[in-house]
Amino acid sequence: MSRPFDAAATRKGIGIAGSEGQPVHAAASGEVVYSGTALIGYGELIIIKHSEKLLSAYGHNRRRLVAEGDRVERGQKIGEMGLNDRQEDMLHFEIRLDGRPVNPLDYLPAR
């Protein structure tokens, strides 16, 4: 991880370091509710709805491989890692519970 969760930050997620083109996988099964570039500061962004309360977001993709309305499974390749605004290889990853950002590390398996 290259940027830890900071509830006071503008973008409320974590930065995951990697290499441009590296696969991005869905953290859990769900429906793609957004796949596009309209949200400023996130680049190529994918948002997956996992339940009525839980969403995950994947920003700074080089390439999106899913479209709105697609059903995805946990671990499915949904994109390819790209560059952030500072031209660093990075995936921006967020989890939102009831619309509020929470620390994604609380929802991911330990490594």
pTM here is 0.90
Q: What is the pLDDT of residue 21?
A: 96
State pLDDT tens for residues 44-71.
999 999 999 999 999 999 999 999 999 9
For residue 106, the one-letter residue type is D
Superfamily of 15-103 according to CATH: Glucose Permease (Domain IIA) (2.70.70.10)
Name the residue ranges covered by the structural domains of the chain: 15-103
Residue 76 burial class via C-beta count within 10 angstroms: exposed 0-12, middle 13-18, buried 19 and up: middle
Distance CA 5, CA 93 (A): 10
Cβ–Cβ < 8 Å for 35, 64: yes
Q: Among 1-10, 15-24, 84-93, 99-108, whose mean pLDDT is lowest?
A: 1-10
Per-chain mean pLDDT for the chain: 90
State pLDDT tens for residues 96-107.
999 999 999 888
Residue 11, pLDDT > 80, answer no
